[in-house]
Amino acid sequence: MAIFRIEKTADYTTMSNRHFKDKRLSLKSKGLLSQMLSLPENWDYTLKGLAHINRESIDAIRTAIWELEKAGYVKRRQIRRSNGKMAEMEYVIFEIPQNTDEP
């Protein structure tokens, strides 16, 4: 039988275990959410920024974000400039899903 050992360091993140137990989420989405929760609030939370620190493509990051959005862990809204033109997308990330379909 294999033995796994964990060597902890001072650089760690504390987060809810809820998303790890959510069977609606793929392993990819669970990992991405964990990574996003570990990053500082002012970090570049764009698809390009997330793809830059991972081996996944922007499309793979996008599909994981869609999955997290469907499950209620991510909410997004389109920001509009004062002239009415669309600007960047705003993402809000939650440790606990924000919908009624949660497990």
| 35-81 pLDDT per residue, tens | 999 988 888 778 899 999 999 999 999 999 999 999 999 998 888 88
pLDDT at 15 (0 to 100): 87
CA–CA separation, 95 vs 35, rounded Å? Answer: 12
Domains of the chain: 18-93 (1.10.10.10)
26 pLDDT above the threshold of 80? yes
State the amino acid at position 9 in one-letter form.
T
User: What's this model's pTM, rounded to 2 decimal places?
Assistant: 0.80
